[in-house]
Chain A
Amino acid sequence: MKMNENISKEDRKMLNGIFWRSFTVFASRAGATKAHAPGFMYSVAPALNRYYKDDPEGRREAYMRHTTWYNITQNVGTFVMGLVASMEKKNAEEKDFDAESIVALKTSLMGPLSGIGDSIFWGVIRVIAAGVGISLAAQGSVLGPILFLLIYNIPAILTRYYLTYMGFSLGSSFIEKIYANGSMKILNKAASTLGLIMIGSMTASMVKFESKLSVPIAGGKPIEIQTYFDQLFKGLVPLGITLLCYWLLSKKVNVNWILLGVLVFAIIMGLLGVV
């Protein structure tokens, strides 16, 4: 890789440290206000300890900076960790560096990076891996879970590794550039598009609702309600319910109420003999 060329041995040691520690980034969760701040502090510790070796006051300030809320899809979050390492380095070297900009940049990247990461890892790779895994496991083959883990984890770990290095070597100027020239927008749009296509396809295959209701007709075959639904539009009810859930979420209805609503709805439908 080209970006690894001008990285020294110590840099490499530090970045590998961050890479390995980052696996545990979400191991702890310090409530809703700080979320994964401890995991982030633990992950970037190799950088903070290295650059503020002779400056305990600087290191204290650095740790205190990073006690704020942190949450990025973990396989792409290492990009920010590498980036923070490069900025902390600058901060330790230059007296007039604006330390607040480190937290500002970190925070501003959480949304867009998670958007890209969630759609690619949760929306696409996991779904493909699960699709292959389910079809094998349904026949009782142990290859199902094994292939599932391999298909998901190989790209996930490679991404985690290379993004640690990229974040460090590209630095904050690169981020500012891709924000300014609009590349970030294109990247985000591409990931969202792919994610939405996959979610649409999953809605069709995974959300199920079949009515066994039929209307008896004197002297003829009873009318099956489901066939009418299917003729109107295949998967009409699952699609409608998914969109309704989305609409309720966008109206800031708590997700727990929506879940409860769906459960109650399904059970009532069962009791009434609709499903």
Chain B
Amino acid sequence: MYKEAFLAALTVFICYGGNWLFGQSMIERPLVVGCIAGLIFGDMRTGIIMGASLEAIFMGAVDIGGALSAEPVTATVLATTFSIVLNVNDKAALALAVPIGVLAAFISMFMKNVVMNLFAPLVDKYAKENNPRAIAIMHYSMWFINYFIFSLITFFSVLKGAKPVQQLVNSIPDNLMAGLAATGGLLPAVGFAILMRMLWSKQLAPYFFLGFVLVAYLELPSVAVAVLGIILVLVTSFKDKQLLDIENKQKELEMRPTVSASGAAAGSESEQEEEDFFS
């Protein structure tokens, strides 16, 4: 199992660490991770198909400002490893992926927000010493340390967990399995709630429900929803822009007399304007 454990940990390191080293290029998403894990364990097709199912489950799991609802890399790698190497059936492997992802997210957030705090004083120190080289070295070392420690989790999970997982999967009763599968269906809700938290306002809330109905009832694919959304946004933005131009012009008109003449004259002029408006 040492070889498999090492390979699985390497996949986590490449995909998770690589994603953040190369501009969040999405190689941490299950679609890609499944493919790579499949390639490494010699069954790419299974890996890709597992990746597709997991991508849908972890759709809402994006790292936004350090708040993470589920960590997809460890979950995908372990699920794919269990499925290909241990021959755990796909459904069970997918169900296990969800609790693994949530647990991994706890650990990842703890590492990044708490453990890595150890380096915060060094940031100040090197800045004070005017030492860009040290900052660069520290920057890359922190990257390595964080993702190296993180991939150890996968190493030991495969090494020590392989047998228990097999026994566990065999002994899980059907209704618990159904419950685990249901967690996969509900998990995206938390991710979307995190996204909504940034965008929501009373005026814009109806658009959320519009998007919902477009898919729930009209069953439009996401490209169609995106195009409709863009059209809608363009139309409303043009209108907003027009309104804004009018507003700005009005402000300018109001400003001008105050600049050129005294306050009294400006007052009477705006009164005049108001009278015109109501007549």
User: Distance (Å) between the CB of A132 and the closest chain B CB?
Assistant: 8
Nearest residue (CB) in A for B102 is A259
| Chain A residue contacts of B223, Cβ below 8 A | 128, 131-132
- B-contact 0/1 string along A120-153, CB 8 Å cutoff: 0011101111111110011111101100110011
| Chain B CB within 10 Å, residue with most, of A60, A114, A208, A238 | A208
A133 to B27, CA, bound (A): 13
User: A23-B23, A266-B186 provided; 8 other pairs, C-beta below 8 A?
Assistant: A24-B21, A25-B23, A29-B66, A67-B123, A183-B244, A239-B216, A246-B197, A275-B182
A196 to B211, CA, bound (A): 7
Q: Are A63 and B135 in touch, CB under 8 angstroms?
A: yes
A232 to B124, CA, bound (A): 58
Q: A26-B20, A249-B197, A259-B190 are in contact. Are A267 and B183 (CB under 8 A)?
A: yes
Task: State which residues 152-182 of A face B: CB under 8 Å.
Answer: 152-153, 156-157, 160, 181-182
For chain B, the count of residues having a C-beta within 8 Å of the partner chain is 117
Nearest residue (CB) in A for B185 is A208
Q: Are A203 and B212 in touch, CB under 8 angstroms?
A: yes
Q: Are B55 and A134 in touch, CB under 8 angstroms?
A: yes
Q: Are B189 and A74 in touch, CB under 8 angstroms?
A: no
| Chain B residue contacts of A149, Cβ below 8 A | 25-27, 32
A191 to B195, CA, bound (A): 13
Nearest residue (CB) in B for A152 is B26
Interchain CB contact (< 8 A) of A42 among B136, B213, B225:
B136
| Chain A CB within 10 Å, residue with most, of B129, B143, B177 | B143
Chain B residues in the interface with A (C-beta under 8 A):
20-27, 29, 31-32, 34-35, 44-45, 48-49, 51-53, 55-56, 59-60, 62, 64-67, 69-70, 98-99, 102, 105-106, 112-120, 123-124, 126-130, 132, 135-136, 138-140, 142-143, 146, 175-183, 185-190, 192-201, 204-205, 207-217, 220-223, 225-226, 228-230, 232-233, 236-237, 240-241, 244, 247-248
Stretch at the interface among A33-41, A83-91, A98-106: A33-41
A38 to B62, CA, bound (A): 22
| Chain A residue contacts of B116, Cβ below 8 A | 28-31
| Chain A CB within 10 Å, residue with most, of B51, B52, B187 | B52
| Chain B residue contacts of A24, Cβ below 8 A | 20-23, 139-140, 143
A225 at the interface (CB under 8 A from B): no
Q: Are A196 and B65 in touch, CB under 8 angstroms?
A: no
Nearest residue (CB) in B for A33 is B120
Query: Interface extent on A, as a size class?
Result: 35 or more
User: Distance (Å) between the CB of B67 and the closest chain A CB?
Assistant: 6
Nearest residue (CB) in B for A187 is B237
Q: A63-B130, A115-B199, A137-B49 are in contact. Are A205 and B222 (CB under 8 A)?
A: yes
A45 to B135, CA, bound (A): 10
| Chain A residue contacts of B113, Cβ below 8 A | 29, 31-32
| Chain B CB within 10 Å, residue with most, of A23, A35, A145, A160 | A145
A133 to B68, CA, bound (A): 23
| Chain B residue contacts of A28, Cβ below 8 A | 116, 119, 138-140, 142-143, 146
A209 at the interface (CB under 8 A from B): yes
A195 to B222, CA, bound (A): 12
Q: Are A270 and B179 in touch, CB under 8 angstroms?
A: yes
| Chain A residue contacts of B140, Cβ below 8 A | 24, 27-28
| Chain A residue contacts of B220, Cβ below 8 A | 201
Q: Are B23 and A124 in touch, CB under 8 angstroms?
A: no
A234 at the interface (CB under 8 A from B): yes
A265 to B201, CA, bound (A): 28
